[in-house]
């Protein structure tokens, strides 16, 4: 598994076998009805696709349907805030991301929720290394070196897309530009579907996003993937070099997704929902599907361990956000 710099490289499997199963069995009364999962992005992006793949297995474990609800807006903070301000009764959770938690804390001057104080981390779902892709519409960039030379030669002539200001794709591109000494114009969109469409049409010239979601467009020839940001080549795109192989300076470019409830959600409910995530990620077929998307699953987490990880990521990304110059009201 590819892991972010702040995550210790140690075995994940087995942590939930004892710690999650017992609380789940101790609370058979929950849930007694459908459970809402808020997806704070538009349909078609990674957060949407991955949780919908997991939902049937989680629902089978919980014995109740999971109702998916897309609530995009304000760089994913709209839907996340909805859950942060919901009753902590286990009726609603959010499939949030690094950008709506650790990054948002540093990005927004007036964030309507505190990611540490107002959310209850349940469990991560997938880790998300990224790929830098360029359009083939009206642009003939074939190598990382050619991209760097082109961007340096024409400051702010070209545009890059992302899922919103402060999204991991935005910060990855901003950090990339800083490392190579170039400038380009950021164009934010509401979700992966819109962003990919803009790249295919040539409305933006490059972006960072998930390998598996960009692969169909690469196969169709409408975009070109130049390098992956992980330390190893992606099994989804084995012919695409890593940034290091391409001679690109190292820069942080990854995300992760995870489930959160409102702060104050009872510990037994947190543990049972975490056990539902673990049940889904124990399915080899699902893990293979997630790997095929370029978003490897992250099984074996307790809510306590995830809570500490979110704190660590918030501390790591705060200085990176400030260095990028990104800011929102």
Q: Which residues form the domain of 41?
A: 15-128+255-324
Q: Judge if 146 and 77 occupy the same domain.
A: no
Domains in the chain, number:
2
Q: Which two structure tokens, joined as six digits, stand for 291? A: 């790997």
Query: 3-class SS at 123?
Result: strand
Q: Judge if 28 and 120 occupy the same domain.
A: yes
Mean pLDDT of 299-308: 97
The secondary element (H helix, E strand) that includes residue 105 is: helix 104-107
Q: How far is CA 155 from the centre of its chain?
A: 29
Q: Judge if 39 and 106 occupy the same domain.
A: yes
pLDDT 10s digits, 175-190: 899 999 999 999 999 8
Q: Which of 191, 169, 189, 161 is nearest to 40 (CA)?
A: 191
Is 213 among the domain residues? yes
Mean pLDDT of 21-41: 76
Is 155 among the domain residues? yes
Can you give the CATH number for the domain in which 222 is found?
3.40.190.10
> Residue 216: exposed, middle, or buried by beta-carbon count in 10 A (0-12, 13-18, 19+)?
exposed
Q: Which pLDDT score is estimated for 3? A: 52
pLDDT 10s digits, 291-301: 988 899 999 99
What backbone torsions phi and psi does residue 72 show, to the nearest 5 degrees?
A: -75, 165
Is 247 among the domain residues? no
Query: 3-class SS at 230?
Result: coil
Q: Judge if 123 and 133 occupy the same domain.
A: no
Q: Judge if 58 and 114 occupy the same domain.
A: yes
Q: Which pLDDT score is estimated for 167? A: 82
Is 234 among the domain residues? no
- Flag whether pLDDT at 129 surpasses 70: yes
Give this prediction's pTM.
0.81
Is 250 among the domain residues? no
Q: Judge if 263 and 183 occupy the same domain.
A: no
User: Under a CB-based contact definition with an 8 Å cutoff, are residues 161 and 45 in contact?
Assistant: no
Is 224 among the domain residues? yes
pLDDT 10s digits, 312-327: 999 999 988 887 777 8
Q: What is the DSSP letter of 249?
A: P
Q: Judge if 21 and 96 occupy the same domain.
A: yes
Q: Judge if 137 and 285 occupy the same domain.
A: no
Cα(124)–Cα(300) distance, rounded to whole angstroms? 9
Can you give the CATH number for the domain in which 282 is found?
3.40.190.150
Cα(137)–Cα(65) distance, rounded to whole angstroms? 43
Average pLDDT, the chain: 89
Q: Which pLDDT score is estimated for 81? A: 97
Is 244 among the domain residues? no
- Cα angle vertex 312, ends 310, 314, to 5°? 70
CA atoms within 13 A on the CB side of 230: 23
Q: Judge if 142 and 176 occupy the same domain.
A: yes
Cα(321)–Cα(103) distance, rounded to whole angstroms? 7
Q: Judge if 86 and 159 occupy the same domain.
A: no
Q: Judge if 21 and 113 occupy the same domain.
A: yes
Band (193; pLDDT cuts 50, 70, 90): confident
């Amino acid at each position: 598994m590819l892991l972010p710099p702040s995550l210790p490289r140690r075995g994940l499997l087995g942590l939930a076998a004892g710690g999650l199963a017992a609380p789940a069995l101790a609370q058979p009364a929950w849930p007694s009805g459908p459970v809402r999962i808020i997806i704070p992005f538009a349909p078609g992006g990674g957060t949407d696709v991955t949780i919908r793949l997991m939902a049937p297995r989680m629902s089978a474990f919980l014995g109740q349907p999971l109702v998916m609800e897309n609530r995009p807006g304000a760089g994913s903070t709209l839907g996340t805030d909805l859950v942060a301000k919901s009753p902590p009764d286990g009726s609603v959770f959010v499939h949030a991301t690094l950008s709506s938690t650790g990054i948002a804390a540093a990005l927004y001057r007036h964030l309507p929720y505190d990611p540490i104080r107002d959310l209850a981390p349940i469990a991560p779902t997938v880790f998300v290394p990224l790929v830098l892709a360029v359009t083939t519409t009206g642009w003939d960039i074939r190598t990382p070196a050619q991209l760097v030379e082109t961007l340096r030669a024409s400051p702010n002539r070209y545009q890059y897309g992302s899922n919103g200001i402060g999204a991991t794709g935005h910060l990855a591109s901003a950090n990339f530009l800083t490392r190579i000494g170039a400038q380009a114009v950021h164009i934010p969109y509401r979700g992966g579907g819109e962003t990919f469409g803009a790249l295919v049409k040539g409305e933006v010239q490059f972006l960072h996003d998930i390998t598996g979601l960009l692969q169909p467009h690469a196969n169709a020839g409408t975009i070109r993937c130049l390098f992956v940001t992980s330390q190893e080549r992606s099994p989804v795109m084995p012919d695409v070099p890593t940034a290091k192989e391409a001679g690109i300076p190292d820069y942080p470019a990854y995300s992760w997704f995870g489930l959160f409830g409102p702060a104050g959600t009872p510990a037994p409910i947190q543990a049972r929902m975490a056990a539902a995530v673990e049940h889904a990620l124990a399915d080899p077929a699902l893990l293979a599907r997630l790997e095929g998307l370029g978003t490897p699953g992250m099984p074996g987490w307790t809510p306590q361990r995830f809570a500490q990880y979110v704190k660590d990521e918030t501390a790591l990304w705060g200085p990176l956000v400030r260095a990028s110059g990104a800011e929102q009201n």
